[in-house]
Chains A and B, each alone.
Chain A
Amino acid sequence: MAPKSLNQPCEDKVLLDLWHPLGAVEAMPRNRVRHDRLLGVPLTLGRSPEGRPAVWRRPPDGPQPTVWPAEGPTGPTLPVIEQYGCLWTSLGTPRPIFPIPEAEERDRRLLHAGSVMLHTSAPRAVENFLDMGHFPFVHTAVLGDEPHTEVKDYTVEVSVADQEILATDCVFYQPQAALGAQGGADVDYVYRVPHPHCSVLYKSSPGYEGRLDAIALFVQALDQERIRAHMWLCLLDDDQPDWALRRFQMSIFGQDKPILENQLPRRLPLDPRAETPIRADKSAVAYRRWLGQLGVRYGVIAGAA
């Protein structure tokens, strides 16, 4: 049982003023509503018979209809945008959402690969997404394979102006570098953390020299220790059917899930002494420090400072 305070709504202005994902646009049929949570706040979201999406605060014990109410939203509505395959909302005063320029490139496949709920905190999920060292052990024979376990040195920058973390020059051995390829090869990765609960990874795409596939993780913090993770793909490949791409992402994420659900504590500890970082964890160290500097308290265990 979580202490009661874990279920309290988020009070971090830095998080409240951001856009947060609520799920795939196509998963919101017209004339239906669904009940959900964001940062500890109960919400109702849905699409009007005309197709207009709306999100509003729901009283915790209020009724839970499943069709669009005839009188329209039954509570104060929140801002809504549709972006990167997701519906997004904000509980505060949001600035424009972080850019993913690749989404504008005409020849890319854009695909919502799935949404899964997990018993963990949003920062734990983001940190796992930034981590390459687990590939051989958690994504065995897919993203990595023993004995090729080395995480070579890479570069991490925290850009204050852009409010994001950037990890570049990341390289990791992948046993099957491309579908149908024989043998493994080093694959290049770039990681961005443009939002405390979102990350975009870029990886080399076979057959598209110099261009990178983008794979994004958008985390919806339902509360401090419960999340819904939304996976979004922005790929150069157009050979494989949607279901195969979805299946692949879901199976990868399904491998991370039990790891994340077996991490103790569930909230991310920001005190450097809570866990043991190694050089391979540079991006995680930067991420934890960045959350501390932003003043994030929700979903983390604050540092001893």
Chain B
Amino acid sequence: MSAEELLLRAENAWHPVASESDLVHRHVFHGQLLGQELALWRADDEHINVWENRCLHRGVRLSIAVNDGRELKCQYHGWRYANRTAACTYIPAHPADAPARTIRNGTYPVRTSGGMVWTAVGQPTGEPPALGQGLVLRPVPVRARPADVITLLLEQPPALPDAQPPTAKRRGDLVVELESVGFLVVQPMDSDRAVIRGVLSSQGPAGERLRILRHFDAALTRLRDTAQDRAADEAAPAPLLPRYEPVPKHLASLPESSGHHDLPTRVRVVRTWSAGAGVRGLELGPVDDRPLPTGQAGAHLDVALPGGLVRQYSLVNGPGETHHYVIGVKLTPGSAGGSAAVHERVREGDVLAVSLPRNGFPLRRDRTRTLLIAGGIGITPLLAMAQTLEHQRLSYALHYFAAGEADVAFRERLAALGSVRTVTGLDPAATEAELERLLGAAGEDSQVYFCGPPPMLDVARDVAGRTGWPRDSVHFEYFRNDRTLDHSSRFEVVLARSVLNLTVEPGRSILETVRAAGVGVPSSCEQGACGTCRVAVIDGRPDHQDVYLDDEERAAGDSVMTCVSRSLTPRLTLDL
């Protein structure tokens, strides 16, 4: 087999690219395989990531990025990429926007064997060879063709100290077994560069370890010199050209749209537990070895429940916690049955369909101080935010209003945070007084996030207005719309871009009417709480029935929640 053929076959094979011990915490290892640069890093949860060495945004190497234990932060613009999925979780230049879900860096598959980390740039078949767990040698880089390095290793196999050279057998294109000694593997970095890696089958006596390692290091260094001397006599082959895959087409221009209740992900219920009085915690894991799409702080999932209901639940996950989704569901007596379905019918081991994480409540991180104010089960998105702010060492305070001590949910997560205060047993008047105290004391350049039951949020909204908070510093997430909806009107909608005139009949929503005509609008909660189905109004006056828009936005009348709101004018022109 020629050196070129070997490289071609190597595309779709596993290769070691680092020793496991090379990947220390809070460090990014710079690797290369077949001309392709790699950034390798170990997260604090020990997951090993092998990524393309290039930030999607402006092509800066991620091997110079900051590994904060849960995410990589690019040095150029601070974009953050999550452990496991390499999904972008935050774009600091646009702190108010959740990054498009599809901004994901290139990742490569990861295996470990023989104390080494293996990956492949193409489509590998099978698994890397099992090399056991022995003494891992210091890797030795060589400027020579990988095929020539293998030939040399077979020709001059290194021996243990004071021993005869072992029999060397080729165990694959780039693997040599040294009989009863161990294995040597050649990592093809490029057409003319390689790394000799090795693992000995026995750790050897503790006192001898260093001596054996030094012995092999010296032996491999001599082999390197021989290989390089031989290579110097020949013309070096042209280096392999790295491939830069284009980003998905829709990322070249920004807006994203998603279908109605699109539930592409299957998750298994790994664990359920009582997370607080009347609150059931659900840990949802992947059903295969593909990682789950990553949600950002503030994001929620649509979950299809037994009985055909689809409900929205905020992710409780902290940054980098990408191996599962955690949600908390409060049993609401007299609800339409979503929470009852979770509490009574979902069992560990069940498989559920969920949407991609959506974020209508993104966490800005460009303020010097963040107040998080939760009421009841509204703690869930704010808990995700608090964990993020804590991890990034940004100043925050989480105030958690609960009915009683027993109602406080996710205690173990709260205990891990530095700045949490639970407030229990306040009546509405006392709650309002407490909100006034909290909001009145905030300094400049602060922001506040609220999530809780509608009556509390309505009060919070008033208080924030009274205490002079600027609108863009106050963020709400309603988890339901308690207002009484009036579907009785009939009116016309004009879809300006689609050039369609439609009539919205009593009992039907704008959203349903528009979709029936084949025009797609993303939606999520469909009760006027989440903001997903917001559409710009070009002409006419909306009849707002949602809880998402604030007073100023309602008065402006330039957008409408198409799931519940209607029209005060006979005709409403929409930017659709």
Closest CB of chain A to B66's CB: distance in Å?
A: 10
**Residues on the B chain within 8 Å of A242, using CB:** none
Residue contact A147 to B93, C-beta cutoff 8 Å? no
Q: Kindly state the separation between the CA atoms of A137 and B366 in the bound complex, as whole angstroms.
A: 13
9-residue interface stretch from B172-180, B240-248, B328-336, B351-359 = B240-248
From A133, A138, A262, B92 is in contact (CB under 8 Å) with: A133
Given contacts A272-B253, A273-B252, contact A278 B91 (CB under 8 A): yes
- In angstroms, Cα B95 to Cα A117, docked, is 35
B249 touches A273 (CB 8 A): yes
Q: Please determine whether B244 and A147 come into contact, CB atoms closer than 8 angstroms.
A: no
Question: What 1/0 flags go to A254-293 for Cβ under 8 Å of B?
Answer: 0000110011110001011111111110000000000000
Q: Does A1 contact B (CB under 8 A)?
A: yes
Whether the Cβ atoms of A133 and B93 lie closer than 8 Å is: yes
Nearest-neighbour CB distance to chain A for B235, whole angstroms, equals: 13
What 0/1 pattern do residues 234 to 275 of B give for CB contact below 8 A with A?
000001001010111101111000000000000000000000
Q: Which of B53, B59, B244 has the most CB of A within 10 A?
A: B59
Q: Would B94 and A151 count as touching, CB distance under 8 A?
A: yes
Alpha-carbon gap, A151 to B77, bound state (A): 11
**Minimum CB distance partner of A301 in chain B:** B244
Closest-CB distance, B242 to chain A (whole angstroms): 7
Instruction: Indicate which residue in B76, B95, B249, B368 contacts A134 across the interface (CB closer than 8 Å).
Output: B76
A247 CB within 8 Å of chain B: no
Question: Which residues 49-89 of B sit at the A interface, judged by CB distance below 8 A?
Answer: 53-54, 56-61, 64, 74-78
Note all chain A residues with C-beta closer than 8 A to B57.
275-276, 278
Determine if A150 is an interface residue (Cβ-Cβ < 8 Å): yes
Q: Bound complex: CA of A99 vs CA of B59, how far in Å?
A: 33
B367 within 8 A of A: yes
B394 in contact (CB, < 8 A): yes
Given contacts A147-B394, A151-B94, contact A137 B247 (CB under 8 A): no
- Count of B interface residues, CB-CB < 8 Å: 38
Compute how far the CA of A150 lies from the CA of B96 in the bound complex, rounded to whole angstroms: 9
Contact of B37 with A by CB under 8 A: yes
A2 → B minimal CB distance (Å):
10
**In the complex, B414 has a CB within 8 A of chain A:** no
The residue in A148, A262, A273, A276 that gathers the most chain B C-beta atoms within 10 A of its C-beta is A276
Q: A138 touching B394 by the CB < 8 A rule?
A: no
**Taking the complex as formed, is B231 at the interface, i.e. its CB lies under 8 A from any CB of chain A?**
no
A210 to B368, CA, bound (A): 30
B505 → A minimal CB distance (Å): 39
If A147-B368, A275-B59 touch, whether A280 touches B93 (CB-CB below 8 Å) is yes
Evaluate whether A264 and B93 lie within 8 angstroms (CB atoms) in the complex, with A1-B239, A150-B366, A276-B57 already known.
no
Shortest Cβ distance from residue A175 to the other chain B in the assembled complex, whole angstroms: 12
| Contact digits for A125-159, partner B, Cβ 8 Å, 1 yes 0 no | 00000000110111000000011111100000000
Given contacts A148-B366, A272-B252, A279-B254, contact A134 B77 (CB under 8 A): yes
Count of residues in A whose CB is under 8 Å from the partner chain: 29
Residues of B near A265 (CB, < 8 A) are 59, 242, 244
Known: A136-B78, A137-B78, A264-B53. A275 touches B93 (CB 8 A): no
* Contact among B53, B78, B93, B242 for A278, CB-based, below 8 A: B93
Residue among A1, A137, A147, A279 having the largest count of chain B Cβ atoms under 10 Å: A147
Contacting residues, chain B, for A151 (C-beta < 8 A): 93-94
Residues of B within 8 A of A133 (CB): 77, 92-93
Taking the nearest CB of chain A, how far is it from the CB of B293, in angstroms?
17
Contact status A275-B58, CB under 8 Å: yes
Contact B92 A146 (CB under 8 A): yes
Q: How far is the CA of A277 from the CA of B103 in the complex (A)?
A: 11
> In the complex, are the beta carbons of B76 and A137 less than 8 A apart?
yes
Q: Are B93 and A263 in contact (CB under 8 A)?
A: no
- Residues on B with C-beta less than 8 A from A277 are 252, 254
Asked whether B544 is an interface residue with its Cβ less than 8 Å from the other chain, the reply is: no
Is there an interface contact between B365 and A147, defined as CB atoms closer than 8 Å?
Answer: yes
Closest B residue to A137 by beta carbon equals: B78
Query: In the complex the two chains form, what is the Cα distance from A264 to B64 in whole Å?
Result: 13
Tell me the A91-138 residues at the B interface (CB within 8 Å): 133-134, 136-138
Q: Is B59 touching A149 in the complex (CB atoms < 8 A)?
A: no
Q: Which residues of B contact A280 (CB under 8 A)?
A: 93-94
Taking beta carbons and an 8 Å cutoff, which residues of A are in contact with B? 1, 133-134, 136-138, 146-151, 258-259, 262-265, 269, 271-280
The 15 sampled A-B contact pairs (Cβ below 8 Å) are A136-B78, A137-B75, A137-B92, A138-B76, A147-B368, A149-B93, A149-B95, A149-B365, A151-B94, A263-B58, A265-B244, A272-B253, A273-B246, A273-B252, A278-B57
Q: Which positions in B face A, CB cutoff 8 Å? A: 37, 53-54, 56-61, 64, 74-78, 91-96, 103, 239, 242, 244, 246-249, 251-254, 365-368, 394
List 6 other contacts, CB 8 Å, given A269-B244, A273-B252, A279-B254: A134-B76, A147-B365, A150-B92, A263-B61, A264-B244, A277-B252
